[in-house]
Structure 1
Amino acid sequence: MSLISAAVIGTGLATIGPIAPAGAAIPATIPLTFTNNSGRGEQIYIYNLGTQLSTGRQGWADANGTFHAWPGGANPPAPAPDAAITGPANGKSMTLQMPKFSGRVYFSYGQKLVFKLALGGLVQPAVQNPSDPNHNILFNWSEYTLNDSGLWINSTQVDMFSAPYAVGVKLPNGSTKSTGHLKPGGYNGFYSALRGQPGGWANLIQTRSDGTVLRALAPGHGIESGALPATVMNDYINRVWSKYASSTLTVTPFADQPNTKYFGKVSGNVMNFTNSSGAVVTTFQKPDADSIFGCYKLLDAPNDLVRGPISRTLCAAYNRSTLLVNANQPDTSSASFYQDAVTNHFARKIHAQMVDGKAYAFAFDDVGNHESLVNDSNPQQAYITLDPFN
């Protein structure tokens, strides 16, 4: 089961972590140490926004971990209350209290972010929209869930690659687990590699008028904004479709259920999946690049036990371009990932620059456990560290 959904840009917040059992003894809040090692001089602003798990209400937490519910929204959207926490200067740390939320910790450089409230809830930054009020602000976010089962916190690039940071959790024995750190030179290395990738990939990079590099859009948002051709994956998709018209794709979606297998075969414009009894259990139309990069639309993954797990497996295999080299999926060995000339080069270049090789470069990057996420069932402390821009 995927621990993270695609990060939601618009209203609502992504959820990570399982549903908590009753009776567990995680405190109401845990400390979050926020460290600024960015090497930059701008003022940092921090926002802890999410859904209060005990009530289901959306709102924000202040530095003490106190929950504040959002007021009602409006049409057109009205400004949200100022939830900004003034962050630490370069080289400094501060400790906040993290409540039992499913939500995001945003951080911005030099300017406060603009949040508004629509009738349906919080409107979050939409970086793919050039008219979004946050478009020219340097910012990023982490996603987390803290509940009675523990803490799950990630470093995500599902929507964009931007200001570098890492996350961590302190275990009861005093040790820590962390993920999200770039290799030395990895920040500049990523952008240099993306600029050098032909086919429109360099157009994903967004720069402010003063020359500041703001972010690289994830390729799905690049297609949406016209920065990346919608046909960028067509050659690979066509080759996959041709291969499985005459051979069978075997999907074993659950590592702990090796006998649960589904068999895919292309017929016309659809790939039919059958179970071991030969019954058709789900059907996929020929996907397009946007469906692949977003793991949605023609590769929708409902939270069920058949189509969703098959779709997640297909999504990962398309993004990593492993379907032509391995007819048994998921392929969980990173040695075969991104080897085709047609692939998710955004994801490829992010993983190449990570110290531990792990990233959330697309929604189901957790297939095979290649995601940048740490968790613990008895967290003593959480960490977010802003890293240097080098």
Structure 2
Amino acid sequence: MGTRRAPSLRRSAPVAALALVGAAGLTVAAPGTRADAAVPATIQLTVTNNSGRSEPVYLYDLGTQLSTGKQGWADAGGTFHAWPAGANPPAPAPDAAIAGPAPGTSTTIRIPKFSGRIYFSYGRKLVFKLATGGLVQPAVQNPTDPNHDILFNWSEYTLNDAGLWINSTQVDMFSAPYAVGVKAGNGTVRSTGHLKAGGYQGVYNALRARSGGWANLIQTRSDGTVLRALAPGHGIEGGALPANVMSDYVNRVWAKYANSTLAVTPFADQPNTKYFGRVSGSTMTFTNSAGAVVTSFQKPDSDSIFGCYKLLDAPNDLVRGPISRTLCAGYNRTTLLTNPNQPDTSGAGFYQDAVTNQYARTIHAQMADGNAYAFAFDDVGHHESLVNDGSPQQAYLTLDPFS
């Protein structure tokens, strides 16, 4: 997304439209590419409130205007407003809230060509501030964040000349349930993000039942309202989850590939593009088919794995980034020991090791279609909760029941 996040929100799920090449070989259009049918300057987004909650709902459309690169917000009619200059310390941002639907009703707004987020909150407006570098977004792993006690969530989207990409995301947290959808040019509607019946409570119950600190990811308000479960990287950051929670698995991966080879074929449509990894000391080095060294990785810590950054940094290139995304998925899904040919995209063997990303495992298990964005490169193998269309007629955001 184009808006500036607080440092701890740097791991948000990538909207596929912003990547030139997806981690598992999905080629998508770069912003500005013409679609077969022209995409209008704005499209309708219908927000339906099936939550069963009585509090007022507030909506926000925040992001970067693709035609200018400016950061700002859109009003209910889809008109873009650039943020004013920020300050140090950060100053309050203009009130960008849009009144959301009452329980059992829908509200339709228009969204412009943007790369951004649709926030929604229950009961209270969110607090946004502007720093000298841009918008500071909620960082609820920080107990002093002004949004910490607000029940809210967000979807991420890109609308450009090539179409619409919109997802539900749990990369930073699991919270108020919702689903996204798009009406395609042929009139069909596709959606994703719905939980199974009982899935909302099922996620929290499963985390509470896990030993090792996973229950500590859950944040509860003083009135007893369960607000969210933090993603494990944020849990490590705040001390809720042990920093070495993935170390045993990493050690076993390191031992395995000191004596054997890990093959990575990062592009599904380029089966002859392969890289081969071997461990020596603290380094895993990758070579190409000609035997030339192309990149190397230091032994990752748990936070690097959960965030797919730091020691698993993934630049938007054609070598290191695709290898790193593949490794990130393999570590989170714990398939690197059971399959020396990555990416493993089948899903059948995901999260089977005793040491795994229990947060991602739990969320996927409770999704109606099995898809989620529980870590940044959950799109490896197309297990992400994303819908897109090149000629979108309308978008949807459904606020789902909590029970």
Normalised by the shorter chain, which TM-score bucket?
A: over 0.9
Match of 2:26?
A: none
Give the AA of the match of 1:358: N
**DSSP 3-state at the match of 1:172:** coil
Give the AA of the match of 1:176: V
The whole-number CA distance in structure 2 between the counterparts of 1:189 and 1:21 is 41
The whole-number CA distance in structure 2 between the counterparts of 1:228 and 1:22 is 43
Match of 1:146?
A: 159
The question of whether the paired residues in 2 share the 8 Å contact of 1:15 and 1:103 is answered with no
The alignment's C-alpha RMSD in Å is 1.5
C-alpha change, 1:123 and 1:14, in structure 2 (3 Å) is farther
Match of 2:24?
A: none
Match of 2:227?
A: 214
Unaligned runs of 5+ in 1: none
Aligned equivalent of 2:31, options 20, 41, 63:
20
Aligned equivalent of 2:252, options 230, 233, 239:
239
The whole-number CA distance in structure 2 between the counterparts of 1:151 and 1:181 is 19
1:20 to partner: Cα distance: 2.9
2:29 is the alignment partner of 1:54: no
**DSSP 3-state at the match of 2:258:** helix
1:300 to partner: Cα distance: 0.4
Give me the identity figure in percent: 78
Match of 1:175?
A: 188
Aligned equivalent of 1:375, options 388, 393, 397:
388
The question of whether the paired residues in 1 share the 8 Å contact of 2:5 and 2:136 is answered with no
The whole-number CA distance in structure 1 between the counterparts of 2:361 and 2:394 is 31
**DSSP 3-state at the match of 1:334:** coil
The question of whether the paired residues in 2 share the 8 Å contact of 1:8 and 1:14 is answered with no
The whole-number CA distance in structure 2 between the counterparts of 1:373 and 1:332 is 16
Structure 1 segments, 4+ long, off by >2 Å, are 7-16, 20-24
Spell out the pairing of 1:346-361 with structure 2 (5 A cutoff).
346-361=359-374
Aligned equivalent of 1:340, options 336, 348, 353:
353
Aligned equivalent of 2:54, options 10, 33, 41:
41
The whole-number CA distance in structure 1 between the counterparts of 2:5 and 2:214 is 22
Give the AA of the match of 2:220: T
2:285 is the alignment partner of 1:278: no
The whole-number CA distance in structure 2 between the counterparts of 1:312 and 1:242 is 21
Give the AA of the match of 1:62: D
The whole-number CA distance in structure 1 between the counterparts of 2:307 and 2:327 is 12
Equivalent pairs, count: 386
Give the AA of the match of 1:247: S
Match of 1:196?
A: 209
The whole-number CA distance in structure 2 between the counterparts of 1:372 and 1:293 is 18
The whole-number CA distance in structure 1 between the counterparts of 2:239 and 2:99 is 36
1:108-132 Cα deviation digits (max 9, x unpaired): 0000000000000000000111100
2:80 is the alignment partner of 1:71: no
The whole-number CA distance in structure 1 between the counterparts of 2:239 and 2:365 is 26
The whole-number CA distance in structure 1 between the counterparts of 2:388 and 2:259 is 43
The whole-number CA distance in structure 1 between the counterparts of 2:341 and 2:212 is 30
1:332-388 Cα deviation digits (max 9, x unpaired): 010000000000000000000000000000000000000000000000000000000
Match of 1:164?
A: 177
Unaligned runs of 5+ in 2: 18-28
Match of 1:290?
A: 303
The whole-number CA distance in structure 2 between the counterparts of 1:15 and 1:220 is 16
Match of 1:95?
A: 108
1:315-340 Cα deviation digits (max 9, x unpaired): 00000000000000000010000000
Match of 2:268?
A: 255
2:389 is the alignment partner of 1:389: no
**DSSP 3-state at the match of 1:50:** strand
The whole-number CA distance in structure 1 between the counterparts of 2:242 and 2:111 is 41
The whole-number CA distance in structure 2 between the counterparts of 1:99 and 1:21 is 14
**Relative to structure 2, which stretch is displaced further, 211-220 or 15-24?**
15-24
C-alpha change, 1:14 and 1:372, in structure 2 (3 Å) is closer
Report the TM-score when normalising by structure 1: 0.97
The question of whether the paired residues in 2 share the 8 Å contact of 1:219 and 1:346 is answered with yes
Give the AA of the match of 1:147: N
**DSSP 3-state at the match of 2:235:** helix
Give the AA of the match of 1:270: T
The whole-number CA distance in structure 2 between the counterparts of 1:364 and 1:160 is 15
The question of whether the paired residues in 2 share the 8 Å contact of 1:365 and 1:371 is answered with yes
The whole-number CA distance in structure 2 between the counterparts of 1:254 and 1:286 is 24
The whole-number CA distance in structure 1 between the counterparts of 2:163 and 2:5 is 23
Aligned equivalent of 1:83, options 61, 78, 96:
96
**DSSP 3-state at the match of 2:31:** coil
Match of 1:265?
A: 278
1:159-178 Cα deviation digits (max 9, x unpaired): 00000000000012221000
